[in-house]
Every structure is written in structure tokens, then in C-alpha cells.
Chain A
Amino acid sequence: MALAHGSLRPARTAGLTLLGLLPVAFLVVFFAWPVVAIVGRGFSAGGVDTVLGDPQTWRLAGFTLGSAAASTVVALVAGLPVAFLLARVRLPGIGLARTIVLIPFVLPTVVVGLAFRALWPDGGVLPLVLANAFFNVAVVARTVSGLWAHLDPRAAEAARALGASPWRAFRTVTLPALAPAVASAAAVVFLFCATSFGVVLILGGGSYRTLETEIYLRTVDLLDLSGAAALSLLQFAAVVAALALGAMARRRRESAVRLRAAQVTARRPQGGQWYVVTAAMVVLGLLLTPIVALLVESVSTPDGWSFAGYRALAGTGANGALQVTGWVAVQNSLAAATDATLLAMAIGVIASVVLVVLRRSPGLLARGAGETMDAALMLPLGVSAVTVGFGYLVTLDALPGDLRTSPMLVPLAQALVIIPLVVRMILPVLRAIDERLRQAAATLGASPLRVWREVDLPLVARSLVAAAGFGFVVALGEFGATSFLARPDAPTLPVAVATLMGRPGELNNQMAYAACALLMLVTVAAVVLIDRFGSAGEF
């Protein structure tokens, strides 16, 4: 049988092109078109050059990039030991650690912002940087551990046997192999931090502003579309630069490495590894602190402990603060997150498969197309949610069914945020699969389908489940994009929390924290279920 030794026959190229068009079409309709339309309005209004010429604008840009870079470094330093813990360590309670690390990601920004405010009442740069990192440790831990769990440890062991210190073995053998995942995670975290909104607003205390908060202010409050367009342009340029850097880092280090089934590589830590495990535990402890604090807040009243906030969740809150009960909000969240995850997995997996093929193909054109598509898939993370949301308002009525007010809009917007995460989690694993494994299997007479089933799928399965689970959790907690969109009166849990937080009264405050606790609980349940399902598929 003919093997596709990196070469593509025309028919296959056509099929691949069709397949690749699917994610591209999705991005064009639900991202590029709305963004171009709204930014275009700003341009036609004029005055863009004035904003770009203002030194104030460049200070904003500098602060945005600087603080996002700082948060990314903190998230990497905190996330890598946790990634090691999740990927390589077999100890009781690892499953719990896997769950804990995800919780910060779903917490509503207003809650985390207020929790950090309790520690740093005057706000400032430090709590801002730490809070953004707090949200994103999960991205690093999950993305990197996904690849790490599959790395064959024997290369590092060989280096050790040849006399390398554990650190040197890590630095020269393991780290290069992990580089694509680390670079991917760093790019995602940077984009999340550079465009974070609520945290900056609450902890920046009004005096620290970023491009994102300024775009929001000018779009939503001032309707200064040309000012917003100028800033969006700047943000876009910064994002493209960051993506290009990330792609360069990935390209330099990327190589096919030997992947193994995860369970073989996890073992009890030895010697110096205990330091790393301890560091990971410290990080988990720090992540738990605000979580515990808000649990405490949910049961404390001026008159002592009380579960009144939790009991209130069965109803619609004090004076009907919510329009539906807390439980209905849970259902809304689950439904929207399920839709968003299915969509994002469909688009993300197709995109990843296409990207791997393009990358392996010999033509410069194909590889260039691959690089461009790879970067384009990440862009939604780097563009202001308010830009996308307002873009929907001026474009999506042109589609059949006036999507602007459709309940589909929330899952669509959430999917836009999840797709880059799915791609970044699956792609490193797909790319790292040694082509020779496939060729060997094919030589031994396996059909292409069987090769996929026996070689690719087992190696990718866990990452697929992990990506789906992670995407689901992100969708559960997603607030930014959702809240800017015209949406039906079916509040998700984060929206319910924000509503409750915006009202005076003891009970509403407790109820908001109780709703947060509920959000965490739903997250934990989802993660446990998915992880169980994932390991059941393990061989």
C-alpha cells in the first residue's frame, strides 16, 4: 500500500483543503467579520491617528504588555511544578490536585478581584499581576502535563546514567521535549492576561489601566468607536507579535519525541523530585487560599455562621434578585458549556489534524498556510471581547435567523474562547507522534483506520478528553465574552453571581458566594467525571 511519506496526492490535498475550510469559515463568520466591521466603523469616523499619536496610548500599551508578561512568568513558575506533579508522580490524592488546579479558572472575576482586594485593600500592580497569574496556573499545568505524561522517561534516565545531574537531565533532555507545550501555554496565558478585564478594573483601582479596559470604556460608556478602533489596532499588533514569538519558540524546539502511555511514566517521586513535589503542593495551597476564603465568606454573617445563602439558592434570592433559581442557573451553565464544548472540539480537532498534515507536507506554501492558520486560531484570545460582542451587533443580523439575539450566541462566543485552548492542548501531542510508529504499523499490514485507532488515538485520547474537560470548565466559568453579548434571560452561574454581587444586602452577598461555591462544585463534578471517563479509555 502506498504510504504518504509526507507527500500529498492532489485528491487528498483537495479533501484536506475542504476540511481546513471548516474552522476557517467559522473564524471568518463569528470572529473576523464582526471585528472588522466594528473596527471599520471606528476608522470611517476618523481620528484614529490622533489616538495613536497620543503618548498616553503608548503608556497604556506598555503597561498592558509588561503586566501581562509578568503574570505569564508567575503562572509558568507556579504551573510547571504542578504539571510535573500531575504528569509524573504517582501518589495518593493526585486526582484531587488535578481538580483543585482547575477551580480558579472558573471563578467569576468579580469574586476573585474582591478576594484579592481583601488581601491588598489598596490594589496596585502586585495584586493585579498575581490575580491574573492565579487564574492561569491551570492553563500551564494542564497543557504541559498533557504532553509530559506521554514523554518517554528513558531518554532522561539515559542522560542520568551517563552522569548528568537531575537538573541537567531536565534542562537538556526533558525541557526541550516539553518546549512546544510550554510555549503554547505561555502564549495562551499571555493573551488571557493581556486582555483580562474585570481583574484590572477591580485591582487597578482606576489608576492602572490597560488597552482592554480602555477599549471597553470607549466602546461601552463613551461610544468613542474611533478611539476604540485605534486601541484595538494596537492590541491586535501586540497580539500578533506575541503569537509570532510563540510560534518561533515552538518551531525551534519542536521535534517528534517518543510518546508513551501515561500510566507507565507516573511513579513515586525520588530524591530531589520531592522538592518539586513540595513546590507544587505550596502552589496548590496558595491556589486554595482564596477558594477557602470565599467558602468561609459564604457561611459567615454578622450574627455567626449560617447556611442561609445556600438555602436561598433553591429560590430566586432576596426580593427576587435573580429571575430563576440558583439551580436553573446551574442547568443553564451546563447546557451552554456542553454546546460550546461540542462545537469547540469539532472545530478544534479538525483544525489540529489539518495543521499537523500541513506541517508535515513538503511544500512551503502548505507550511505557510499552516503557520497562518495556527496563528489565526489563537487570535480570538487576543481581541477584546467587547469588540467581538459589539461586532456581532452590527453584523449578525445579516445571517438567517438574526443570530444577534439567538440563545446560540453564548455557546458560539464561548467556543471562540475554547477553540484555541483545544488546539494548543491537542496539537503538541499530535505533532509529537513519531511518524515511524505509523509507518511501522502500516508496514506490518495495518489499514489506515487501524493505524489511527492503534497508534494515534491511544496517544491522543487522553489529551482529547483533557481538552474537552478543560474547555467545558472554561465555558462554565466564562463571563467576559458572554456578558457583552445580547443574551436571553437565562443567566449562567457566573452571570447570577455578578447580579447578586451588584445588589446591597447581607443575604444577596452570601448568596453570591454560595453560588460561587456551587460553581466550584459543578466544576469539580465535571472534572472528576471527565477524568474518570478519560482514564477508563486508557489502555
Chain B
Amino acid sequence: MIPRTARTVLGLFTVAVLASACSLSGGDTGGSASSEQQEPTLTLVTHDSFVVPQEVLDAFHRQSGITLKILKSGDAGALTNKLVLTKGNPIGDVAYGVDNTFASRALGEGVFQSYTSPEADRGPQRYAVDTQHRLSAVDVGDVCVNVDTGYFAAKGIPAPTSYDELAEPQYKDLMVAESPATASPGLAFLLGTIAKYGENGWQDYWNRLKANGLKIDSGWEEAYTKDFSGSSGKGPRPIVVSYASSPAAELGEDGKPRTKALLDTCFRQVEYAGVLTGSKHVPEAQKVVDFLLSQQFQTTVAANMYVYPTRTGVELPAGWANAAPLPTASATMPADKIQAGREKWIGAWRSLMGA
């Protein structure tokens, strides 16, 4: 009796499985082998923050015949590690979003193959990270301390301008930052302080910040949207670690920004793209890298991803010149030095801050 029952159930649910398989396979838009001969579909593996207007992708398709499939894969760290894990048989053809804090790991593992784009000499080369030209710089973004200018105007005290001032008593309990262990702006800020104070001095600086009531959050969302007073959350703290471009998103009624980035506290993050070792469409994948460095794509990065183009002569959106100029004197650090020190520094930071 029972098995018969079971058979009925099995029958019913085989139908269900088949139905679900149909609708599942219906969602697969990957081209078949025959159509790929003429119209290749390439996969661009990137991070979660990737945004590009559809019309730009469509235009690229018209020009090159290449259909680009976007595969978002976590943040820069997760993306890099996924590429490392799948290096024998990559999940795509091109990757974009590995940044200078993770570049060495990817290069050391042989994730990317050499390619020098003809577009690279229009500016991107300034940020070259590797002599074999396996990575091309697509965008730069600066992590800087942001302040709520309205708060300091109302209190009648000047806003801080430098690392050292952040540790001064008049700014006690006013600052919030992200943990370098769990958030990439947090890591960039830590690297900025190491670049500034050196291997022997940064821990002392962080001790001063801690004594001055620095609050640590695990992610940018909590710090910026809940604790920072200059954003939508109207939190209690007027100083936050965010990006040089953040003020462009905080324009008041009068079109003027309500927040400001402190240009002497910036650390530069550069995001790279490259052709993945093991791609089955190398010539087309190289065209995708060209596309990412092209005027057409570079014009979209500021408005869509809040980062700056690496190509020279690309216009920034209206308002950025005032609200979010690209800092000129950002700190930076060689990728291999970051790779060598990252885990040690994060470990030391965790025991220092008790986090």
C-alpha cells in the first residue's frame, strides 16, 4: 500500500521536477555552440558594484558582434579569491574589479594572461601594476575621511583636515570607521595610515584614535547610512571613512554638497581588468578589455559606480568638480607590499582594537 502511495507521489512530483526544469532551462540565455561561431557570448566576471547602462552594452554588441554576459561575484576580495579557486577552468573570459589590494594575489596565482590594450596609453598606464601587462587599470577611487560640513558650521568649530587632527580632543567621539577585516574602505583607510605613519608608527596612531572615541562598524552601510550625520540616516557622528566621490551624492536643495572629503586623508584604490588564463575566446576577450578602457565605457563609470575613469580627458558628471574632485595627493602602496602585509596588519589591528 505504502509504496503504491509513494509511486503516486513520485509520479506527481516527477511532473513538478520536469516543469521546474523547463522553467529553469528557459532562463538560460547562453548561446548554443553553433551560434557562438558567429556571435560569441563572453562572460565578464566582476564585483557586485558593477553598473553599466544597457545602451552602452548594446552599442558594444553592435560594434563588435560580442554579447557580453555580466557575472557579479561579490566584492573585490571575493572576486579575486573565486578567480584563484577556478584558475584551471575559469568561470568567465575577462575579469574586472580586482583592485590594488588584491592584485598581487591574482597575479601570483597566474589568473590573468598578458595583453596590452591599444587604449592603455590614453591614461590607464599610469596605474600599471605589473611589467607583463596582465592587468589594465579601468578606474580609480579614493577612500577618504568625509565630514558633515553643516555640523561643524553649526557648532562653530573648524572641521578636521588631517590624520593627526582626527585624534585631537575637540573631535572626541565624532568619528566612525569600518573594520579592515570586513570592509574594503576600512582596509584602505588602514593602509592609508600605514603609508602615512609607517610600519612602526601606525599602531600608535590607532591607539590615539581609539582613545579619542573612534567607533568601528563592520560595514560601510552601517557606518555611512546609520552613524554618519551627513547622510540619509542623520546619525550622531559627523566624521566617517567613505569615498572621495561620496559628497557628489549628498547635494542639498541648493545643489551644493552637504559633506566634504578630506583630501589629505585619502588612499587610492585602482581597479583592474584582464583576460583570464584559460579563456576560450582570447581575441574577443581582448576586445572586451579595449571596451572597458574606451571613451564610451569610461564616460559611464563616475555616474554609475562613483569612481573616476583612468582614461585622460573623460568628462566627469556635472557637480563633481565642486563636490568630488579627484584628490591629487593620495597615498598609495605597491600591490606586492600590500599582499605581503595585509593579513599581518589586519591581525595586529584586530588585537589592538579588540575587534
Tell me whether chain A's interface is mostly helix, strand or loop, or mixed: helix
Is A499 an interface residue, CB under 8 A from the partner?
yes
Measured CA separation A206–B49 after assembly (Å): 23
Q: Is the CB of A357 within 8 A of B16?
A: no
Is B332 an interface residue, CB under 8 A from the partner?
no
Measured CA separation A408–B23 after assembly (Å): 10
Q: Is the CB of B220 within 8 A of A502?
A: yes
Given contacts A339-B23, A342-B19, contact A353 B219 (CB under 8 A): no
Of A3, A356, A408, A503, the contact of B249 (CB 8 Å cutoff): A503
Measured CA separation A405–B73 after assembly (Å): 10
Q: Is the CB of A339 within 8 A of B24?
A: yes
Given contacts A349-B13, A350-B13, A503-B249, contact A206 B220 (CB under 8 A): no
Q: Is the CB of B73 within 8 A of A345?
A: no
What distance in Å separates the Cβ of A350 from its nearest Cβ neighbour in chain B?
A: 6
Q: Is the CB of B1 within 8 A of A3?
A: yes
Q: Which residues from 1 to 25 on chain A have a C-beta closer than 8 Å to any C-beta of chain B?
A: 3-4, 8, 12, 15-16, 19
Q: Which residues from 334 to 355 on chain B have a C-beta closer than 8 Å to any C-beta of chain A?
A: 343, 346, 354-355
Q: Is the CB of B306 within 8 A of A503?
A: yes
Q: Is the CB of B82 within 8 A of A393?
A: yes
Which A residues lie within 8 Å of B220 (CB)? 502
Q: Is the CB of B82 within 8 A of A114?
A: no
Q: Which residue on chain B has the smallest CB distance to residue A442? A: B1
Of A19, A353, A448, the contact of B1 (CB 8 Å cutoff): A448
Is B217 an interface residue, CB under 8 A from the partner?
yes
Is B329 an interface residue, CB under 8 A from the partner?
no
Q: Is the CB of B217 within 8 A of A206?
A: yes
Q: Is the CB of B71 within 8 A of A488?
A: yes
Is B28 an interface residue, CB under 8 A from the partner?
yes
Q: How many residues of A contact B (CB 8 A)?
A: 85
Of B51, B231, B343, the contact of A320 (CB 8 Å cutoff): B51
Q: Is the CB of B221 within 8 A of A456?
A: no
Which A residues lie within 8 Å of B84 (CB)? 223
Q: Is the CB of A489 within 8 A of B1?
A: no
Q: Which residue on chain B has the smallest CB distance to residue A300? A: B232
Q: Which residue on chain A has the smallest CB distance to residue B56? A: A320
Which B residues lie within 8 Å of A213 (CB)? 182
Q: Is the CB of A506 within 8 A of B232?
A: yes
Q: Is the CB of A219 within 8 A of B81?
A: yes
Q: Is the CB of A338 within 8 A of B181?
A: no
Q: Is the CB of A345 within 8 A of B51?
A: no
Q: Is the CB of B4 within 8 A of A448?
A: yes
What distance in Å separates the Cβ of B170 from its nearest Cβ neighbour in chain A?
A: 22
What distance in Å separates the Cβ of A476 from its nearest Cβ neighbour in chain B?
A: 16
Of A219, A321, A353, the contact of B5 (CB 8 Å cutoff): A353
Q: Is the CB of B218 within 8 A of A206?
A: yes
Q: Which residues from 1 to 29 on chain B have a C-beta closer than 8 Å to any C-beta of chain A?
A: 1-10, 13-14, 16-17, 19-20, 23-25, 27-29
Which B residues lie within 8 Å of A224 (CB)? 343
Q: Could you jot down 26 A-B contacts, CB within 8 Å? A: A3-B1, A19-B6, A19-B10, A201-B182, A201-B219, A202-B219, A206-B355, A222-B343, A339-B27, A342-B20, A345-B16, A346-B14, A353-B9, A393-B82, A393-B85, A394-B86, A405-B71, A411-B20, A449-B8, A451-B1, A486-B91, A504-B242, A505-B250, A506-B232, A509-B231, A509-B233
The 8 closest A-B pairs by CB, nearest first: A342-B20, A505-B249, A504-B249, A346-B13, A509-B232, A489-B70, A206-B355, A12-B3
Chain B residues within CB distance 8 Å of chain A: 1-10, 13-14, 16-17, 19-20, 23-25, 27-29, 43, 45, 48-49, 51-54, 69-75, 77-78, 81-82, 84-86, 89, 91-92, 105, 179, 181-182, 216-222, 224-227, 231-234, 236, 242-243, 246, 249-250, 253, 303-304, 306, 343, 346, 354-355
